[in-house]
Structure 1
Amino acid sequence: MTATKNLLVELFVEELPPKALKKLGEAFGSALLAGLRAQGLAGEHSALNTFASPRRLAAHVSHVAAVAADKPVSIKLMPVAVGLAADGAPTPALLKKLAAVGADASAVPSLQRRVDGKAEALFLETVVPGATLAAGLQAALDEAIARLPIPKVMQYQLADGWSDVKFVRPAHGLVALHGADVVPVQALGLTAGRQTHGHRFEAAMDPVMLQDADHYAHQLQEQGAVIAGFAARRDEIRRQLDAAAAAEGLTSIDDDALLDEVTALVERPNVLVCRFEDEFLAVPPECLILTMKANQKYFPLLDANGRLTNRFLIVSNIRPADPSAVVQGNERVVRPRLADAKFFFDQDRRRTLAARVPGLAKVVYHAKLGTMGERMDRVRRIARRIGEQLGSLALADLADEAATLAKADLLTDMVGEFPELQGIMGAYYARHDGLRDSIAEAIEDHYKPRFAGDVLPRGDVGIAVALADKLETLAGLFGIGERPTGDKDPFALRRHALGVIRMLVERDLPLALPALVADAFAAFPEGHGAAQAEVQHFVYDRLVGYLRDGGYSAQEVEAVVALRPDRWGELPQRLAAVRAFAALPESAPLAAANKRVGNILRKSDEVPETPPDAKLYAEDAERALAAALADVAPRADAAFTAGDHAASLQALAALKAPVDAFFDAVMVNADDTALRRNRLALLAQLHAAMNRVADLSKLAV
């Protein structure tokens, strides 16, 4: 590659969609670098630095050549028999092919002959000139723009009044600098130059004439009052937020998504402290925080105890000498939002949750599954059954009551305005109605876990209702054929299945999945239960992924899950025991022997259900295995019963020698029927003893 310089490309546009800005900036830079590398203009050592602000996408690529190195290529022309006559003269077909690749008859003597498949072919060895930066960057830029993950394309007219362009937002400027030199490329009806623009109001000069590729960020900050880099701007906002909060003796709420969105809204961040009236603090803090974050993009401030205060931070895009007008404007804007939240809260508390329950019968849940009222009745039935299994009739009654009220807050004004608060507001209203804390907690918690890593419901009542809600969803939607396909899961059924798994495993519930799924389908009208097996399989598939995410291997997970244990709270202990067993020198031969025993028993249709008869043992190896099994099995069983799965598996190590000797000396499928059946009975006893913790055959290589 020839001598290199650094390259800068910038698209200057109208305000970009904030939630897509970060991804757009990264995609633009990555595609540009990939295109340059594909043409040999950039190498593996070329570094990429992306920039993205509300009004620009830019990329800085180091070590970019003005001309790519020439590239030797071998062009296959045609079989020798087709290209050369008997006297070696080129045929018209060969001359035509040579002309098509830019050569003529003078190249015939230098053509190479090589075997290609079954025949000998002619090859032209030539050198393709390296791409120039102008041509290569044009191709890379076109490809980068075409591949941008634009959420919604705009179509707008160019200055000529005739041409239309489609892009995420109207583009007004293009910069392409190789070192200090302009690269003559075009895009979106624009021709590249070195001119860009800074902040709309606070730039020291406009336009900003860029000196070279390496001074882009510095010039924009000094002359244009813009922090061009997304990460740099985000860090500056975070620094200002922390400093402003600390000055007030408070802490800013931590929200990475909000920080990203605000970073995409400003070019010159300026954090200011604002206040609202104390009277609004009587409204649940979740309501105030959500309205400030979602509607205004503000950062609420918390005290040392994590309680919401009447102060919040704004990120302004201007830095006036006197910021009072900006502060007062934002305080004036947020006040009606908070007043609305207070009004909704006050109005909602005028009716009890119980009084709202009949209204659920008028809300359609799904065209094929009826109303929310009918869904609530199904969840009640499932929750009551789970409550009975978890504790007592008293717990079942509480679960029934909580399930009855769990969806009532969907009909409140507050949840109508802020759907994200469903469950949370139900808990506030339940306490206002004088209901016990366990009911209020269950109403809030029955949506949990809402996402990966979310907390589980706090009490048994919440667990019962949360399980019932998720199982009803799975049973209902699978029953009408609404299944996840590929990466599409519009009803979040994978998340619901994972929620069921986490509660069963992490809360160590004495509940078996088949019974839970059966109870869920039993809550539906007769004829809806055809998908029970499919739901079980779906949840088991998610269970495997959940356990694999815990750091266990596919073999370890398969060995434990293959037994379909009833109590999933034991799965982590079983997996740890399997891992410890696999480290023993006896594990591999025992796993192989276990697999062999399983195959023998599976292929036989005469395995007795009775224990083997010691009088029928004909070989010493039989007697030795039976004696070893009589010694090991009780110890392994006792450890298993005590919950010490590791000790249960490790006790099996003593069986290695007698098992090996048995298969070396004993013919299981003996001609004598009594002898054969007795040996099968012994193997069945061995198989049962070896596979209480896990199916050890899954560990066999």
Structure 2
Amino acid sequence: MARDLLLEVGAEEIPASFIIPALEDLKRVLTERMADARLKHGEVRTFGTPRRLAVQVRDVADAGEDITKEVLGPSAKAAFDAQGKPTKAAEKFAESLKLSVDALGRTTTAKGEYVSARVEEKGRPAEAILQDALHAAVHGISFKKSMRWGDVDTAFARPVQWLVALLGDTELPVVLGDVKAGRTTYGHRFLAPGAITLKAPADYEAALEKAHVVADIAKRRAELLRKVNAAAKAAGAQLLEDEGLVDQVTNLVELPSPVVGSFEERHLDLPPEVLVQEMKSHQRYFSLTDAKGKLLPRFIAVSNTPVRDEQLSLRGYQRVLAARLADGRFFFDEDRRTPLADRVEKLGRVVWQGQLGTYLEKVERFRALAGWLAQATGRAGEAATVERAATLSKADLVTGMVGEFPELQGVMGREYARAGGEPDAVALAIFEHYLPRGAEDALPSQDAGALIGLADRLDSLCGIFAIGKAPSGAADPFALRRACLSIIRIVLGRGYRFSLSAAVDEALRLLAPKLANVKRKPGEAAPREQVMEFFRGRLKALWVEQHRTDVVEAVLAVGFDDLVAAKKRLEALSVLVGHSDFQPLAAAFKRVVNIVEKQGKDVAGGQTNPQRFTDEPEKNLHTAFTQARARVGEHVRADDFAGALKEITGLKPAVDTFFDKVMVMAEDKDLRENRIRFLTEIGALFNQVADFSKIQAETAAA
């Protein structure tokens, strides 16, 4: 009979950011071990609070499934002698499986014939499987930081206080550190500190709710949002949306209990971002606004218990925030005493990356690159703003406020630029060159900030790749994947037309003095090729979310140097492949490509000679091709790739007739090579939009 499983690790308060990854590890290791042992089960749920990590598995089978598997032994030649009698090798193989030699069979593999046996493997009892699986699960959690306590050699996020391991009503023998598993859990530290004895895993969630613990993270998050929104509404305000803060506070409490506090109205003359950051970063308070989105001198703090004396609690929250705001005002006032321009030189004492130099050197590089981009994109009129804003763009890194709150870089640069009398366009560009900060963030609204942001990120990408520190696996310490996606988003969002490879070349040229002594591994691709391939990979990952993979690959195969044009080609081709008549077109083009690939390498270069054509179908195709090529060129220059594809599609009847009536591989060498050159030119026409040979013709109309 199927039973439910519960595993809970109780500990001292676990950091909020550790909880979700830990639960993912716990669930992954447990389910993988169960799958390996063929132990069937139902729904898997995780629970997490600052004091507990738990996983519940429904309907666990009593034992792993029985299987019959084929086991290969020695080769048939080694197992039997010339007379067909079994050798020692066959006898030992049979003995190892507790079978007679007569029970052995033979199996033919790619490597030859082998002796084999079919062996029945019984599934292990669930208790035995889970004892090992739970041990692996609790010891398989990876934390950013772990600790040891007492004389225990085991490391965990925080000292472990209790363990629960139940299969139905049966306790499983699991040990973590000096704690042995049982059936006892604990509720809220203050509201229900007593022990809770669980009869079965199904009782877990309800028992904790009675003990003032909302163990399900999604439920606790929903309850938190409901309570803070209700508190904001009661205060005549609105909650400033911050999903990250909601997630963080959710995992700081077991029973969310909000209170509304206030701070001195005089602090509202500080930049709103400073106030929000002061409340969020150190205190985890929610900010409140009026109906128009203007910040109010009020906040919501969330405690882990309902407070008995709300005024006493509020005084504590408000006193701590008052001190933080006083610090913020001090930094703001002190920072403004020194103009941003006077801080630029100090960047020469701040290292950006050991081999690539200081922030001052980086600023000088991307300032020049931003000027190059302004010319390349036809924004030369922005050159002065770009020059000034790029010079000042990183100066706020050496201010007190950004030293305290790194998240405010760019924001404080904008504010200090305004305070120092810089033009609004310069101040805005300083802020916007950091945009977008994430996948959902807004793009720069003006060219200056966008161009500086592109240059800054290109300098980082090219520099880090050039010194051999490209991202590998999950490791991306310089956030190059995010930087690359931001470049793509900005270019496409702003509609910038320029050569990406030329921009990479310019970035590498500016980096050259720093790269003179860099040693490369034998056979390693040049930095330019590495960076361009990195862009290709990011583009593919981004575009396959909305387009077919083979269509994306077909477009990227013929180039993406002009990102805007590549996107337009993709959109036009995606529409075309959805038509029922595209499949035969793709098949015809593949035939062209196959002939060119197989035979073209032996054909000398040169142009097609129409005078050499002998058959009417090839003459007709050449006439149609010549007309279509001119019109395709016009469409491509006008970015009308749908029109270009329509012209290309119109060649299909003539191409079909050509293949039906004309022998490409003619005996006459000159005639044969002329026809192959002609097919090469047709292929080149198709390739102005995409490499059609990469499109799966059989699914083109699916």
TM range (shorter): 0.7 to 0.9
Structure 1 residue 427: Cα displacement = 1.0
- In 2, Cα distance between equivalents of 1:548 and 1:15: 42
Residue 452 in 1 paired to residue 439 in 2? yes
Structure 2 match to 1:511? 498
- In 1, Cα distance between equivalents of 2:278 and 2:342: 27
Residue 207 in 1 paired to residue 190 in 2? no
Structure 1 residue 566: Cα displacement = 4.7
Identity score, percent: 36
1:11-34 Cα deviation digits (max 9, x unpaired): 322222221113323433454455
Question: What's the secondary structure of 1:540's corresponding residue?
Answer: helix
Residue 166 in 1 paired to residue 166 in 2? no
- In 2, Cα distance between equivalents of 1:688 and 1:251: 59
Structure 2 match to 1:12? 10
Structure 1 match to 2:125? 131
Partner amino acid, structure 1, of 2:601? K
Residue 25 in 1 paired to residue 23 in 2? yes
Using a 3 Å threshold, how does the CA distance of structure 1 residues 166 and 396 change in structure 2: closer, same or farther? closer
Structure 2 match to 1:336? 323
Question: What's the secondary structure of 1:154's corresponding residue?
Answer: coil
Structure 1 residue 484: Cα displacement = 2.3
Structure 1 residue 139: Cα displacement = 2.1
- In 2, Cα distance between equivalents of 1:553 and 1:446: 33
Residue 639 in 1 paired to residue 608 in 2? no
Using a 3 Å threshold, how does the CA distance of structure 1 residues 525 and 11 change in structure 2: closer, same or farther? closer
Contact 2:666 2:672 (8 Å CA) reproduced: yes
Partner amino acid, structure 1, of 2:258? V
Using a 3 Å threshold, how does the CA distance of structure 1 residues 555 and 114 change in structure 2: closer, same or farther? closer
Using a 3 Å threshold, how does the CA distance of structure 1 residues 617 and 375 change in structure 2: closer, same or farther? same
Structure 2 match to 1:259? 246
Which of 593, 597, 608 lines up with 1:595 in the alignment? 593
Structure 2 match to 1:540? 536
In the TM superposition, what are the counterparts of 1:639-678 in structure 2 within 5 Å?
A: 639-666=635-662
In the TM superposition, what are the counterparts of 1:63-82 in structure 2 within 5 Å?
A: 63-64=59-60, 67-68=62-63, 71=66
Contact 1:601 1:607 (8 Å CA) reproduced: no
Using a 3 Å threshold, how does the CA distance of structure 1 residues 30 and 631 change in structure 2: closer, same or farther? closer
Which of 257, 273, 289 lines up with 2:276 in the alignment? 289
Partner amino acid, structure 2, of 1:209? T
Which of 547, 554, 562 lines up with 2:549 in the alignment? 554
Contact 2:600 2:676 (8 Å CA) reproduced: no
Contact 2:618 2:658 (8 Å CA) reproduced: yes
Contact 1:581 1:587 (8 Å CA) reproduced: no
Residue 369 in 1 paired to residue 356 in 2? yes
Of 631-640 and 433-442, more deviation after overlay is shown by 631-640
- In 2, Cα distance between equivalents of 1:121 and 1:622: 61
Alignment RMSD (CA, Å): 3.7
1:77-115 Cα deviation digits (max 9, x unpaired): 9899999xx9x9xx9x989997x99x8xxx979x94544
Structure 1 match to 2:576? 581
Partner amino acid, structure 1, of 2:405? F
Question: What's the secondary structure of 2:7's corresponding residue?
Answer: strand
Structure 2 match to 1:196? 185
Structure 1 residue 668: Cα displacement = 5.3
Structure 1 residue 372: Cα displacement = 1.8
Structure 2 match to 1:474? 461
Question: What's the secondary structure of 1:167's corresponding residue?
Answer: coil
1:243-287 Cα deviation digits (max 9, x unpaired): 111212322233333222222221222111111111111111111
1:580-600 Cα deviation digits (max 9, x unpaired): 333334422442244146437
Question: What's the secondary structure of 1:532's corresponding residue?
Answer: helix
Using a 3 Å threshold, how does the CA distance of structure 1 residues 122 and 317 change in structure 2: closer, same or farther? closer
Using a 3 Å threshold, how does the CA distance of structure 1 residues 385 and 213 change in structure 2: closer, same or farther? closer
Residue 465 in 1 paired to residue 440 in 2? no
Residue 618 in 1 paired to residue 617 in 2? no
1:477-497 Cα deviation digits (max 9, x unpaired): 233333223332222222222
- In 1, Cα distance between equivalents of 2:31 and 2:598: 60
Question: What's the secondary structure of 1:249's corresponding residue?
Answer: coil
Partner amino acid, structure 2, of 1:375? K
Using a 3 Å threshold, how does the CA distance of structure 1 residues 73 and 331 change in structure 2: closer, same or farther? same
Structure 1 match to 2:376? 389
- In 2, Cα distance between equivalents of 1:400 and 1:230: 49
Structure 1 residue 241: Cα displacement = 1.1
Q: TM-score, normalised by structure 2?
A: 0.86
Partner amino acid, structure 1, of 2:22? L
Contact 1:446 1:466 (8 Å CA) reproduced: yes
Residue 157 in 1 paired to residue 157 in 2? no
Structure 2 match to 1:148? 141
Structure 1 match to 2:52? 56
Q: Which has the larger radius of gyration?
A: 1
- In 2, Cα distance between equivalents of 1:77 and 1:359: 71
Partner amino acid, structure 2, of 1:628? A
Contact 2:73 2:114 (8 Å CA) reproduced: no
Contact 2:596 2:676 (8 Å CA) reproduced: no
- In 2, Cα distance between equivalents of 1:276 and 1:379: 42
- In 1, Cα distance between equivalents of 2:32 and 2:536: 41
In the TM superposition, what are the counterparts of 1:40-439 in structure 2 within 5 Å?
A: 43-44=40-41, 46-64=42-60, 67-68=62-63, 71=66, 112-115=103-106, 130-131=124-125, 133=127, 135-157=128-150, 164-180=153-169, 182-183=171-172, 185-203=174-192, 206-222=194-210, 224-391=211-378, 393-439=380-426
Structure 1 residue 517: Cα displacement = 1.7
Q: TM-score, normalised by structure 1?
A: 0.86
1:278-299 Cα deviation digits (max 9, x unpaired): 1111111111111211111111
Question: What's the secondary structure of 1:52's corresponding residue?
Answer: strand
1:361-380 Cα deviation digits (max 9, x unpaired): 22222332222222211112
Contact 1:601 1:684 (8 Å CA) reproduced: no
Question: What's the secondary structure of 2:208's corresponding residue?
Answer: helix
- In 2, Cα distance between equivalents of 1:377 and 1:95: 75
Question: What's the secondary structure of 2:141's corresponding residue?
Answer: coil
- In 1, Cα distance between equivalents of 2:272 and 2:636: 49
- In 2, Cα distance between equivalents of 1:501 and 1:72: 51
Using a 3 Å threshold, how does the CA distance of structure 1 residues 631 and 215 change in structure 2: closer, same or farther? same
1:332-388 Cα deviation digits (max 9, x unpaired): 111111111111111111121111112222222233222222221111211112222
Count of aligned pairs between the two proteins: 676
Contact 1:594 1:696 (8 Å CA) reproduced: no
Using a 3 Å threshold, how does the CA distance of structure 1 residues 647 and 228 change in structure 2: closer, same or farther? same
Structure 1 match to 2:606? 608
Contact 1:221 1:228 (8 Å CA) reproduced: yes
- In 2, Cα distance between equivalents of 1:33 and 1:699: 38
Structure 1 match to 2:523? none
Contact 2:393 2:410 (8 Å CA) reproduced: yes
Structure 1 match to 2:521? none
Contact 2:285 2:301 (8 Å CA) reproduced: yes
Structure 1 residue 211: Cα displacement = 4.4
- In 2, Cα distance between equivalents of 1:669 and 1:61: 66
Partner amino acid, structure 1, of 2:208? L
Partner amino acid, structure 2, of 1:491? F
Structure 2 match to 1:572? 567
- In 1, Cα distance between equivalents of 2:597 and 2:288: 65
- In 2, Cα distance between equivalents of 1:612 and 1:124: 70
Question: What's the secondary structure of 1:511's corresponding residue?
Answer: coil
